């Protein structure tokens, strides 16, 4: 296993996938002269095997892709869509989990990304994950925790227990070996025949039947009609000396842009973290930004599709951030904000993000989801596919319409230094998993690395905060500085999250405040970090190398 040292240029690129084995599989594709997209797809397929509770081909995906040969950034939106039979009361019947399943877009997203940017054969991208699923692997901490958290559901559903239980009907634990032979066989067929086998081929009727058996109503036509959306000019904005590229609505890119625009007006720099007083003021401003952004998010979700683009362009403008957000914010109090009451249908947790910078300077930020852990809890006994429950992501029931995509916080972000040559323009590739916490987690890592001058490892490990209006609470991770937290309690309803992800008070906060995967370019060096909150770390001997990558 090669060692990367700070004084040499690493020429094979790096992948941060939240799983050591998947980061290595993606990196191996780069070593085979594959593209950044090849590495991303191979790593995604691996994650769908290693962490099947988070993502898979029964879900949806969004890519942000930088092509170093053209200098252009595009997005591919393969988010799930509501089936043509969707109605605003269909998700109220908990006895029919199949009704929560939206039309999966994952494979169509892979297919389009590969057609546009792939170098290796489609089949080659599947081979490592097929072997992994057939041969088996030891369960990591992330999957083990998900199994334990959903233990009762798994034990009560034979199709799940057949996969995630021992023969004596006890659930698998960390370091137990698990295999997915049915999923491996399905991957073999997709590798040979392409994505059409899922949407209009020999697997289609099986998928329809599996979903129908669980009360769902996705049809053969729903699958056949599914198309990903290509945007050859990704939503972009400038903050400081860098240009940011993100997916637009219905994803979290516009919200991330608004947050950064607001905070940039305060002149964020390393001095913000230089004294306790500066830190207190900075975190107060960060929390207020998150709360104001939460209010705007509610307005964004309500926009009619015909008006959403105009709304987004206004909300990410410098004038909007200054006049409508930053000016009303006060440094010595928190502003009372109105917010429409929401009916949160289910807490989302089943998401994965990975980041790639390739040797030619191209990059991919990609986030994939099946929504909650193990999605709808519907697993196909014939194909091994776990299906999403993305219809839960519609915040308000009246927004559920046939063919519509639910809102999402997913924010795969590519940050460019446009003053550099095209093959050196990528400064940072970053994104997160964690439901509604994705945008706030990603913003804080960007601030930590690009503005506060932390090295990448510290930027990701640093304790985070998250605040929103519904519920109107501010969550604070374990090891957050007590003096700062004590001051913040004067203004905010603080909920502590300890190091195991359990509440210290009688609340139910998220397990962690997002899990971030990032790759950065620092001069001639490339560094990658996977969030330890998800048990992730990068293979190779890169710890010292990444610690050296600071502004």
> Interior CA angle at 99 toward 93 and 104, to 5°?
155
CB-based contact 122:194 (threshold 8 Å) = yes
3-state helix, strand, coil in the chain (%, to 5): 40, 20, 40
The tokens of 132 are what?
């992994």
Residue 152: CB atoms within 10 A of its CB come to 9
Owner of token pair 């930088």: 66
CB-based contact 477:501 (threshold 8 Å) = no
**Spatial distance between the Cα atoms of 426 and 420, rounded to a whole number of angstroms:** 9
Residue 141: CB atoms within 10 A of its CB come to 12
455 is in an annotated binding site: no
105 is in an annotated binding site: no
Q: Which residues, 6+ apart, have CB-to-CB distance to 51 below 8 Å?
A: 18, 19, 140, 142, 143, 146, 352
In 79-150, the DSSP E strands lie at 137-138
Helix spans in 330-481 (H): 438-446, 456-461
Residue 478: CB atoms within 10 A of its CB come to 14
Residue 174: CB atoms within 10 A of its CB come to 15
Q: One of 64, 351, 442, 474 is an active-site residue; which one?
A: 351
For β-strands 472-477 and 494-497, DSSP reports them as parallel
20-47: b or e for each residue (b if 16 or more CB lie within 10 Å)?
bbbbbbbbbbbeeebbbbbbbbbbbbbb
CB-based contact 366:59 (threshold 8 Å) = no
- The SS3 assignment for 393 reads helix
393 is in an annotated binding site: yes
435 is in an annotated binding site: yes
**Spatial distance between the Cα atoms of 393 and 102, rounded to a whole number of angstroms:** 10
Q: How far is CA 504 from CA 150, 484, 493, 500, 514, in A?
A: 22, 18, 13, 10, 18
3-state secondary structure 441-464: HHHHHHHHHHHCCCCHHHHHHCCC
**Spatial distance between the Cα atoms of 319 and 393, rounded to a whole number of angstroms:** 31
Cα–Cα nearest to 364, from 413, 324, 310? 413
362 is in an annotated binding site: no
472 is in an annotated binding site: no
| DSSP, res 321 | I
Cα–Cα nearest to 332, from 291, 285, 279? 285
368 is in an annotated binding site: no
Q: Give catalytic status of residue 351 as yes or no.
A: yes
19 is in an annotated binding site: no
Largest Cα–Cα distance of the chain, in whole Å?
64
Owner of token pair 């300077």: 361
The tokens of 102 are what?
């939206």
DSSP string, 87-98: -TTGGG-TT-GG
363-371 sheet: strands from edge to edge: 14-16, 350-357, 363-371, 60-67, 72-78, 229-231
CB-based contact 548:6 (threshold 8 Å) = yes
Binding residues: 79, 369-371, 393, 408-409, 435
Binding residues for L-glutamate: 79, 369-371, 393, 408-409, 435
Catalytic residues: 351
């Amino acid at each position: 296993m090669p060692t990367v040292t700070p004084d040499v240029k690493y020429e094979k690129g790096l992948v941060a996938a939240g799983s050591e084995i998947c980061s290595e599989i993606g990196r191996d594709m780069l070593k085979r002269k594959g593209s950044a997209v090849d590495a991303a797809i191979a790593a995604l397929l691996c994650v769908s095997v290693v962490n099947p509770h988070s993502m898979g081909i029964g879900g949806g995906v969004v890519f942000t892709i930088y092509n170093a040969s053209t200098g252009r950034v595009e997005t591919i939106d393969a988010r799930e869509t509501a089936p043509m039979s969707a109605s605003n009361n269909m998700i109220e019947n908990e006895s029919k989990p199949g009704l929560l399943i939206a039309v999966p877009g994952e494979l169509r997203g892979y297919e389009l990304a590969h057609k546009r940017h792939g170098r290796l054969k489609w089949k080659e991208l599947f081979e490592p994950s097929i072997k992994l699923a057939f041969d088996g692997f030891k369960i990591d901490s992330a999957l083990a925790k998900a199994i334990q958290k959903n233990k009762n559901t798994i034990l009560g559903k034979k199709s799940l227990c057949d996969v995630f239980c021992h023969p004596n009907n006890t659930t698998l634990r960390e370091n137990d070996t698990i295999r997915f032979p049915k999923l491996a066989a399905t991957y073999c067929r997709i590798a040979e025949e392409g994505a059409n086998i899922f949407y209009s081929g020999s697997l289609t009727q099986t998928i329809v039947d599996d979903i129908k058996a669980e009360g769902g109503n996705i049809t053969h036509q729903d699958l056949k009609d599914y198309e990903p959306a290509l945007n050859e000019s990704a939503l972009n904005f400038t903050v400081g000396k860098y240009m940011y590229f993100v997916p637009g609505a219905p994803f979290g890119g516009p919200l991330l842009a608004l947050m950064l625009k607001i905070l940039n007006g305060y002149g964020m720099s390393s001095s913000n973290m230089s004294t306790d007083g500066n830190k207190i003021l900075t975190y107060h401003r960060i929390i207020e930004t998150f709360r104001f952004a939460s209010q705007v998010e509610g307005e964004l979700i309500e926009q009619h599709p015909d008006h959403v683009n105009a709304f987004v362009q206004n909300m990410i403008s410098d004038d909007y951030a200054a006049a409508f957000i930053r000016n009303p914010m006060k440094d010595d109090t928190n502003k009372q904000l109105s917010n429409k009451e929401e009916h949160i249908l289910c807490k989302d947790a089943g998401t994965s993000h990975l980041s790639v910078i390739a040797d030619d300077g191209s990059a991919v930020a990609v986030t994939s989801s099946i929504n909650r852990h193990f999605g709808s809890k519907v697993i196909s006994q014939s194909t091994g596919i776990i299906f999403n429950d993305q219809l839960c992501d519609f915040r308000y029931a009246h927004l559920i319409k046939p063919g519509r995509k639910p809102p999402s916080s997913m924010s795969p972000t590519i940050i460019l230094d446009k003053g550099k040559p095209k093959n050196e323009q990528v400064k940072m590739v970053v994104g997160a998993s964690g439901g509604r916490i994705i945008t706030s987690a990603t913003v804080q890592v960007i601030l930590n690395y690009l503005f506060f001058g932390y090295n990448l490892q510290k930027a990701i490990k640093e304790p985070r905060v998250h605040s929103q209006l519904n519920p109107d609470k501010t969550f604070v991770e374990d090891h957050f500085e007590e003096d700062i937290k004590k001051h913040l309690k004067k203004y905010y309803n603080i909920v502590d999250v300890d190091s195991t992800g359990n509440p210290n008070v009688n609340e139910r906060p998220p397990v962690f405040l997002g899990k971030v995967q990032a790759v950065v370019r620092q001069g001639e060096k490339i560094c990658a970090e996977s969030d330890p909150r998800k048990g992730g770390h990068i293979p190779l001997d890169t710890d010292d190398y990444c610690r050296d990558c600071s502004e």
